[in-house]
Structure 1
């Protein structure tokens, strides 16, 4: 029997995250004040991972990420979820060392052989990243969920963070957008999009390394809050305005058609609603707005600085009238 994993969950991938506005209201005030000196990156701005200094030139990076099935193939889902969890370490300039599995499984509904395939996919991607996998935790869950808690290392003097953006910095995006709408089409119709799977299983290790080697200090990965949502957090933390040239953004084949045909997740629409009060869209069409807010799963890095081979999609400026400006 062939199982369609995406039919066993209400949402899929990073589109199933709690909406950013709701999440921020929940964690508001849950921050040590003043922040401990050894907590280099914490909850302040919503960075991708926590960073704790343990020595003058060494810091621990810690993160966790898991979600419901984004594709029907269990092995691919495991690969995607692991790449997505590892991305949080790369997004702050770290190197992953060890991951532990986080698995929720409806054991009375789905065969455990499928769970094994999910874990095998995660292990293979972790091996590609030269990251150990050592155990984990599982629960009997009505919906399947998988991901990892990942620990890594970083140089506290060479980090990528949300609050380090400055006027004049170009913005580069290292993966095309459109993962979310293609995944929504896959969940609805069963169509398979190898280009989306390839994007989601590509590690952000190389982009992170290049960003550090070039002396860049500001970056984030583009996942469930979409390009505009994650860029809004960067601009807000850095006290700048971000300008996006919508015509310069690359999209996966089929993404525009998916939006045109209505395959837009609720998560993407919530992202757009969240950033719209802080954005000057000018005459940018609704379909383009939805693509820029599309809830990505294991998306690319958005780097304030040039990355060879990655398109420059905008810039940071000092203007304060809007946090985001989108141009055609």
Structure 2
């Protein structure tokens, strides 16, 4: 078992300095909906704003001209691992994912850095920032600026910006009845993180966790070029069920997930059965479980895994049946070997069925 390496045995574990980690830090979906409803968060909605907050999409999209629209998003969180360099990589990969999920190509980022400077040595903080820089370098973009503050808990993330042709924007609300659903990455990051925090995660599973959470969702703009791809989102803090439900609500249709076809990271089912689940999983279910139908015969862990918060999770794609082979081949070429068809979209009330 491993707790993963830290920068120094004299410094505290990064995960010990925060009350939550990764996308599990998100405010629960039910609470977030109440906050946004009571705040009047929509504000001014100019016609150039192609995508705002109306369907809880992955990023805002603002049309610049006939051939370009700006994709803008931000994401940041507390440590999900103890290695500072890997924390930086994971946080940056996760932030860039929302640009890819809209069909965009990143062009630059700004760093958001909040650190307990009296508890973490400078070299640890520098390693976090270096991890983010290396991911942005791999994505072919600069970190062009940012902001830093002294904070009680360590927080790192990015403001990410990209470009997309206005006709290539892929929203989470574009699914059509008859579409099939393809999931690019296996689930279970939240379960791994729960085991890691208790120092019960095997070394091999830790390596799987790092590989999954630092894999950039680069297929996004390539998928947006395919006419048969109707909707894209990424599965992050609200889990597969939560983001699938957002897709259903945005389209006004029912989403079906066939649980036996959902890929899981190695050992995740066993860890979940042993009780390694996050508090965020329960908060997620409390926020949207009333709109999710659980079929008979599901494993006892299915609910917890469907609501498991995925830090830097995979793309969820709704596409026409005659495009699914092309979508799977594209994912395979880009290194997403476990991408799989996991369900479909049907006429009916805006809800999700897990069966």
Q: Any residues of structure 2 matched to 1:1-328 within 5 Å, and which?
A: 1-2=8-9, 3-28=12-37, 29-32=40-43, 35-189=45-199, 191=201, 192=203, 193-206=206-219, 208-215=220-227, 216-283=229-296, 284-305=298-319, 306=324, 307-308=327-328, 309=332, 310-320=339-349, 323-327=351-355
* Cα distance per residue 1:1-37 (max 9 Å; x no partner): 424211110001000111111111111232147x321
- Runs in 1 of length 4+ with deviation above 6 angstroms? none
Q: Which moved more, 1:220-229 or 1:150-159?
A: 150-159
- SS of 1:48's partner is coil
Question: Where do 5+ consecutive residues of structure 2 fail to align?
Answer: 1-7, 333-338
Mapped partners of 1:313, 1:73: distance in 2: 33
Equivalent residue pairs, number: 324
- SS of 1:217's partner is strand
Aligned match of 2:336: none
Indicate conservation of the 8 Å contact 1:245/1:326, yes or no.
yes
Could you say what the CA RMSD is over the residues aligned between the two structures, in angstroms?
A: 1.3
Indicate conservation of the 8 Å contact 2:105/2:221, yes or no.
no
* Cα distance per residue 1:64-113 (max 9 Å; x no partner): 00000000100000000000000010011111111111011001111121
Mapped partners of 1:194, 1:30: distance in 2: 40
Indicate conservation of the 8 Å contact 1:164/1:218, yes or no.
yes
Taking a change above 3 Å as real, the CA distance of residues 285 and 272 of structure 1, as seen in their structure-2 partners, is farther
Indicate conservation of the 8 Å contact 1:201/1:298, yes or no.
yes
The Cα of 1:285 is off from its aligned counterpart by 3.1
The Cα of 1:286 is off from its aligned counterpart by 3.2
Mapped partners of 1:326, 1:190: distance in 2: 29
The Cα of 1:190 is off from its aligned counterpart by 6.0
Indicate conservation of the 8 Å contact 1:64/1:150, yes or no.
yes
Indicate conservation of the 8 Å contact 1:158/1:217, yes or no.
no
